[in-house]
């Protein structure tokens, strides 16, 4: 597949000889996270965030023709950016050029800037979690924004953990008061024996 020749706004995003075949690599251009996949003598440069929760796809892996998100397993074909599971999900693919003589991979910076203008990036790299910030609120983790604000507000007062340090269990997996109350009632009835 021959990609179009890039214009004067090209910017180097990787050293060609450093890219491992079918192994995701990370680049940042114009505030946009990119994922690069070298496959044989070609390269694919795509938007580097998973559509599901915004995880960095450079932290994922390649299985067959697919780039797999390392967090929840969403798939995108590395040659097109289109998900095999759901064809409506597709990563934007940027024009890229391999220059073997200069040992470089180039992208059109103006194309990435136009993407950033159409799709403003919410990631504040200097804040708590920065590059790994989850901007989505879901039923499993509805308080991400609140937790991040507590951590940001507490950084100068309490140390590197911020005002709180609590992570690890999804809210929907935690027992609710009604569940605990019901369970305790059943146990007390069993302990007392039949009426």
Please state the domain extents for the chain. 10-118, 130-192
97 is written with which tokens? 């050029």
Strands of the sheet with 66-68, listed across from one edge = 61-63, 66-68, 75-77
pLDDT: is 139 or 113 the higher one?
113
| pLDDT (mean) for 12-33 | 96
For a pLDDT cut of 90, what percent of the chain falls above it? 50
Which pLDDT does position 2 carry in this prediction? Answer: 43
| pLDDT (mean) for 128-140 | 57
Inform me whether the pLDDT recorded for 184 exceeds 50.
yes
| pLDDT (mean) for 73-86 | 94
Instruction: pLDDT band for 131, please (50, 70, 90 cuts).
Output: low
Instruction: pLDDT band for 132, please (50, 70, 90 cuts).
Output: low
Superfamily of domain 10-118 in CATH is Rieske [2Fe-2S] iron-sulphur domain (2.102.10.10)
pLDDT: is 66 or 71 the higher one?
66
| pLDDT (mean) for 25-30 | 95
| pLDDT (mean) for 163-172 | 54
Q: What is the largest CA-CA distance in the chain?
A: 87
Instruction: pLDDT band for 189, please (50, 70, 90 cuts).
Output: low
Which pLDDT does position 7 carry in this prediction? Answer: 64
Is residue 105 within 8 A of residue 96, CB to CB? The reply is: yes
Of 24-33, 55-64, 163-172, the one with minimum mean pLDDT is: 163-172
Instruction: pLDDT band for 180, please (50, 70, 90 cuts).
Output: low
Inform me whether the pLDDT recorded for 183 exceeds 70.
no
Which pLDDT does position 160 carry in this prediction? Answer: 45
Q: For residue 166, list its beta bridge partners.
A: none
Give the residue among 49, 75, 61, 68 at the shortest CA–CA distance from 24. 61
Average pLDDT, the chain: 79
| pLDDT (mean) for 47-70 | 92
Reported as type and span, the H/E element at residue 158 is helix 144-158
β-bridge pairing 25-29 and 42-47: unpaired
Which pLDDT does position 1 carry in this prediction? Answer: 41
């Amino acid at each position: 597949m021959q990609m179009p020749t890039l214009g004067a706004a090209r910017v180097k995003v990787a050293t060609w000889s450093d890219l491992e075949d079918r192994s995701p690599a990370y680049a940042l251009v114009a505030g946009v996270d990119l994922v690069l996949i070298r496959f044989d003598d070609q390269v694919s440069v795509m938007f580097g965030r998973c559509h599901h929760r915004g995880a960095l796809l450079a932290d994922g892996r390649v299985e067959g023709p697919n780039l797999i998100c390392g967090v929840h397993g969403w798939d995108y074909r590395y040659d097109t950016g289109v998900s095999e599971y759901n064809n409506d999900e597709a990563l934007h693919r940027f024009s890229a050029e391999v220059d073997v003589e200069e040992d470089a991979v180039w992208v059109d910076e103006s194309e990435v800037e136009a993407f950033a203008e159409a799709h403003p990036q919410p990631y504040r790299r200097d804040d708590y979690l920065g590059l790994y910030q989850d901007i989505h609120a879901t039923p499993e983790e509805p308080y991400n924004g609140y937790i991040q604000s507590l951590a940001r507000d507490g950084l100068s007062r309490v140390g590197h953990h911020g005002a709180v340090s609590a992570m690890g269990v999804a809210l929907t997996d935690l027992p609710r008061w009604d569940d605990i109350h019901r369970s305790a009632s059943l146990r007390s009835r069993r302990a007392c024996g039949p009426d």
